[in-house]
């Protein structure tokens, strides 16, 4: 477990994520496939972590547990001091809506909404008034270099542009924590690099914590910490078993 260090008596950085003996298995016929085996880890607020691991090693499973979409079989998860695993499904959904932002491999923009409307959606779900959400969506589109595309529908945009919209949507409500699952997995290398640059810039501006799953070491390099998912364990790149 990582321990935050206090400097000169100042308060330690608050914990954004704590994983406490988190386990998750899936039943495959007769046998149990252990995907995560009593994992312990901590991330301080504002930090960035890449989850690096081969396909099927449990990256998405861990992200789905951290977001509360899935529940662990055992153990507990705390986000910014809230014990997510103690909340019921409705409370977890509300928590997610207010505090989390997501970026997926396949963008997941709603095809029947314009680009600006896609970005306004998480704001309006959080009760932000229409005038304010419209203004904010235009600011965000400007920040990701797509101010001219506000009224376009997602299918009119290239993959890289769609992912920039998805990043703007993920950060619209200034979430404390951003979870990205293979965000460049569906983009060519050059476009992927541009999109990662936009993501990094937005994270710095918002001071959000991020966990990013990828199988690419190059993509993982944008994060300050790197964890590997392997045989049910989480291994810090420095070689420390978490």
Ligand X SMILES: Nc1ncnc2c1ncn2[C@@H]1O[C@H](COP(=O)(O)OP(=O)(O)O)[C@@H](O)[C@H]1O
Q: Which residues make up the interface to ligand X (CB under 6 A)?
A: 26, 35, 53, 55-61
Strands (E), 29-157: 31-44, 48-52, 74-79, 82-83, 100-103
Q: Which is nearer to ligand X, 159 or 185 (CB)?
A: 185
CB of 55 to ligand X, least distance (A): 4
- Give 28's strand partners: 31
Over the Cα atoms of the chain, what is R_g?
A: 18
Q: Which is nearer to Mg ion, 161 or 183 (CB)?
A: 183
**Which of positions 60-99 make contact with Mg ion (CB under 5 A)?**
60
CB of 57 to Mg ion, least distance (A): 9
In contact, 41 and 237? CB cutoff 8 Å: no
CB of 30 to ligand X, least distance (A): 14
Q: Which is nearer to ligand X, 159 or 232 (CB)?
A: 232
Characterize the bridge pairing of strands 225-230 and 82-83. Answer: unpaired
Q: Which is nearer to Mg ion, 69 or 113 (CB)?
A: 69
Cα angle 87-47-91, degrees, rounded to a multiple of 5? 15
CB of 159 to ligand X, least distance (A): 20
Phi first, then psi: give them for residue 128, nearest 5 degrees. -75, 135
Residues forming contacts to Mg ion in the complex (CB under 5 A) are 59-60
């Amino acid at each position: 477990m990582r321990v935050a260090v206090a400097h000169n008596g100042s308060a330690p950085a608050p914990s954004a994520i704590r994983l406490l003996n988190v386990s998750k298995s899936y039943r495959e016929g007769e046998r149990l496939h252990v995907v995560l085996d009593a994992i312990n880890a901590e991330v301080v607020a504002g930090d960035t972590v890449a989850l690096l691991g081969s396909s099927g090693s449990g990256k998405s499973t861990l992200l789905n547990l951290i977001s509360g979409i899935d529940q662990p079989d055992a153990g507990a998860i705390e986000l910014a001091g809230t014990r997510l695993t103690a909340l019921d499904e409705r409370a977890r959904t509300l928590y997610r809506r207010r505090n989390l932002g997501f970026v997926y491999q396949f963008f997941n923009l709603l095809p029947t909404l314009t680009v600006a409307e896609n970005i306004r959606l998480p704001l309006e779900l959080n009760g932000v008034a229409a005038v304010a959400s419209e203004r904010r969506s235009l600011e965000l589109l400007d920040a990701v270099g797509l101010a001219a595309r506000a009224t376009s529908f997602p299918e009119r945009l290239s993959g890289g542009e769609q992912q920039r919209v998805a990043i703007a949507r993920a950060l619209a409500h200034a979430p404390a924590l951003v979870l990205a699952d293979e965000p460049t997995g569906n983009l060519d290398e050059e476009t992927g690099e541009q999109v990662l640059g936009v993501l990094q810039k937005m994270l710095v501006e918002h001071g959000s914590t991020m966990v990013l799953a990828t199988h690419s070491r190059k993509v993982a390099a944008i994060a300050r910490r790197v964890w590997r998912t392997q045989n049910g364990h989480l291994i810090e790149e420095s070689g420390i078993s978490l």
